[in-house]
Amino acid sequence: MKKVTAFIGTETRRGTYRAVQEFEKGLLQHGEVDFEYVFLSDYHLEFCRGCKMCFDKGEQYCPLKDDRDVLLQKMELSDGVVLATPNYAFHVSARMKNLLDRIAFINHRPRFFGKPCTAIVTQGIFGGGAIVKYLCSAARYMGFRTASGCCVNTLEPMTEQQEKSLVRKTRKAADTFYKELNRATPPPSFGSLMMFRLSRTSIKNIDHDFRDYQHFRDKGWFESDYYHDTRLGPVKKMAGGLFDLMAQLMVRLRQARQPDSRGGG
């Protein structure tokens, strides 16, 4: 049975919880799913101090001792992930942003390949659509592939029409997510392939003591076609070669401008 975990960025058991519950019901209409609700407020997560130890030396050197790794392990043990948050001042809640900050090293060393992620955002009036896009983009940087999520209006008291809209939108998001949950990992898009090739060339040229360099080297990412095993067709193979050349040129130009600027971060 597939395991899906929803990380919820509010402690209220109101609109966001309700939307996630409807999403879960939508998944269960398709088949059995082991669904877990993780309220971030139930975990101890300190604010990032910006020391960059996780980027430079490795996440195990983070000076904060809290539940970060408990939450990370929950992501790792899931087949799919939901990021759910209310719209607070036109962005994710501080709890959700703090989680994303604390695991930002994964943007440098992505790991969640083959897993779908989606976003559920609740709001009073407007601005939530951009938040859904933001969360999906953050998830892609971590290696997830994303299923289009949804934004629902949950300001109380909800009208009958809003209630219906909540059910319709969350069920639609669940349908899309369920398909992704059961789909084999597709080859990377041109955009993802380009990002991979540019990142790896840039990382190849940083100090070899940096964790990103060692991680890419140990994973064989300096030589591989992509982060994970995949079959690139001839056109993408050729595009990959061009992206590598482009990346080398960019690194040379940067070095010519700042000959002593090797470093990470």
Ligand X SMILES: Cc1cc2nc3c(=O)[nH]c(=O)nc-3n(C[C@H](O)[C@H](O)[C@H](O)COP(=O)(O)O)c2cc1C
3-class DSSP state for residue 38? Answer: strand
Stretch that binds ligand X, among 68-76, 97-105, 125-133, 177-185 (CB under 6 A): 125-133
Distance in Å, CB of 180 to ligand X, minimum: 25
Q: 207 near 213, Cβ under 8 Å?
A: yes
- Per DSSP, the residues of 194-261 read HHHHHHHHHHHTS-TTSHHHHHHHHHTTTTSSSSS-----HHHHHHHHHHHHHHHHHHHHHHHH-TT-
Question: Distance of alpha carbon 194 from its chain centroid, rounded?
Answer: 18
Cα torsion angle, 247, 253, 256, 257, sign: negative
Stretch that binds ligand X, among 68-76, 82-90, 201-209, 210-218 (CB under 6 A): 82-90
Nearer CB in complex with ligand X: 97/108: 97
Nearer CB in complex with ligand X: 131/138: 131
Distance in Å, CB of 36 to ligand X, minimum: 18
User: Which residues make Cβ contacts (< 8 Å) with residue 250, sequence separation at least 6?
Assistant: 198, 201, 202
Distance in Å, CB of 162 to ligand X, minimum: 10
The answer to the question of residue 170 lying near ligand X (CB under 6 A) is: no
The answer to the question of residue 129 lying near ligand X (CB under 6 A) is: no
Radius of gyration (Cα) for the chain, nearest Å? 20
User: For ligand X, what does the binding mask look like between residues 1 and 40, x meaning CB under 6 A?
Assistant: ---------x-x-xxx------------------------
The answer to the question of residue 87 lying near ligand X (CB under 6 A) is: yes
Site for ligand X, rule CB under 6 A? 10, 12, 14-16, 86-90, 122-127, 154-155
